[in-house]
Every structure is written in structure tokens, then in C-alpha cells.
Amino acid sequence: MRNQNKSLTRGLQILKEILFSNTPLTAVMLCQKLDIDKSTMSRLITSLMNEGFIKYLGNSKEIVKADIMDIMTSQASQDILIERSQDLLEDIFNLTNECVYLAINDNNSLLYLNQIDNSTRVIKMRNSIGSYSPLHCTALGKVILAYSDIDISLLDLNEYTKNSLLKTRYLQKELNNVLENKYALEQEEFEYGLSSLAVPIFDYENTFLGAVGISGLSARLSQESLHSVALQILKLSSKKIRI
């Protein structure tokens, strides 16, 4: 058991060195860093590769993390964000009685991570958790575009309704307004009959994390009412999220 624990510890040490290194590492370099003999290092590296945690860079002897580590790290970050923002989403729902969303950017598309709708309405918003939407014609997406370094000239500005923004210059003007007002609005740009509002959320280091917002029937969410409730939601979302 002691030898197994020692091997596990060494394997984790190797994995940590590779994960946090800015450049690829070799087995020789890892031996020197961790004071592990070549035979043991070879065995541990082989085990980590067989489990899919690390890989060789091309045909070289350089070792880097495997894709599964990026996937696991991304999923863990998403799970933490969902958990830490849950209270905020519930507060926004209690304030507005509208369906509330948490979303992030995923490969230049809007990914819905969480959704809360505890209303007793007969007609509710469809479950969007895990689904994708375009960035340019949703309030959540506009927030993400405004606070990220995404090159909007590379986006496909597809038309979903007659209100969709189809030209880069119009979209950029809209994003400038988002940065100035600190919230985004959308009225029937993605789907007729629906309007939305979104605000950014940040961690304690003021790093942009994603967007939260509401969506509902345009008959209830006029532009005037959205502007009014936006200021209230901004107050709720001003609290930093610990990640």
C-alpha cells in the first residue's frame, strides 16, 4: 500500500509539472525536477499516457497535457461557475419573475450553462441548458462579445428575424452601447415574440466570467421595462463571484 501511495504521489507530481508548464517537458527534465530515476519516470509516464492524461508532442520526446485535461478543466470550471452563481440567478428570478439564464462563450457560440424558471405560468421558456445560440442576436451573446476579445468580423451574422443585426458596424455600435450601459438588450432579434436582457458577471480579480440575464415574451418585456429592470439586475450582479 505504501508503494502504491508513493507511485500515486509521484504520478500526480509529474502531471502537475506538465499541466503548469508553459513549455513542453521531456522525461529527462522531469527526472531532474522531481528527483525521480529514469526507470520509475518511464513507467509513470507510460501509465499517464495510457490513461489519456498526457501525450507526446508530434513525433518528439516532448510531453504535453492531452486534450482530456482541457476538457476536464473546462468542465470543472463550468460546474464551479454554475454552483457559485446559483444564488444570483435565484435573486434575479425573484426580482423579475422571468426565466433567468447563465451563459458563456464556447467556440464563438453562446452556451447555456444554467436556467431558472420557477414561475407558475402555463407557457414557459423551453429548457436551454446545454444548448447553443448565436452571439450577435441575443442579449447574453452581446454581453459576451462586448467583454471578450472575439473578432466580430469573423462571425456569421445570420438573419433570424427582421430585427437581427446583419452588419459588423451595426453590431459594433451595439457593443459600444453595452460597454457604456453595462447591460445588453435584445428585442425579437433571435426569435419573434421574445425579448431579453443580460449583464456581465466577474470574479474577485475582475475577470469576466460570462453573462446572466432574463428572457420572456415581448408583450411583457417592453424596451422601457427592460431598461428599468436592467438597473436593478446590475445591482444584484455587482457582487463578485468567487471561483
pLDDT tens by residue, 87-138: 999 999 999 999 999 999 998 999 999 999 988 887 778 889 999 999 999 9
Structural domain for 95, as ranges: 75-237
Is there a single domain that holds both residue 17 and residue 93?
no
> How does pLDDT run across 165-211, given as a tens digit for each residue?
999 999 999 999 999 999 999 999 999 999 999 999 999 989 999 99
Is there a single domain that holds both residue 132 and residue 222?
yes
Is there a single domain that holds both residue 18 and residue 130?
no
Residue 163 domain-assigned?
yes
CA-to-CA separations, 173 to 73, 122, 146, 168, 200, in angstroms, rounded = 35, 37, 10, 9, 18
Domain boundary among 17, 47, 65: 65
> How does pLDDT run across 36-79, given as a tens digit for each residue?
999 999 999 999 999 888 999 988 999 998 877 676 667 888 99
How far apart, in whole angstroms, are the C-alpha atoms of residue 66 and residue 87? Answer: 34
| CATH code, domain with 108 | 3.30.450.40
Task: Using CA atoms of 43, 45, 46, 47 in order, give the dihedral in degrees to the nearest 10.
Answer: 90
Domain boundary among 38, 65, 92: 65
Is there a single domain that holds both residue 113 and residue 233?
yes
With CA atoms as reference, report the closest residue to 196 among 86, 103, 81, 79. 103
Is there a single domain that holds both residue 57 and residue 80?
no
Is there a single domain that holds both residue 7 and residue 87?
no
What is the pTM assigned to this prediction? 0.75
Q: Could you write out the DSSP letters of every residue in 86-114? A: HHHHHHHHHHH-SEEEEEEESSSSEEEEE
Is there a single domain that holds both residue 99 and residue 200?
yes
CA-to-CA separations, 149 to 99, 112, 146, 213, in angstroms, rounded = 28, 20, 8, 21
Is there a single domain that holds both residue 39 and residue 131?
no
| CATH code, domain with 7 | 1.10.10.10
Is there a single domain that holds both residue 21 and residue 132?
no
- Number of structural domains found in the chain: 2
Is there a single domain that holds both residue 131 and residue 196?
yes
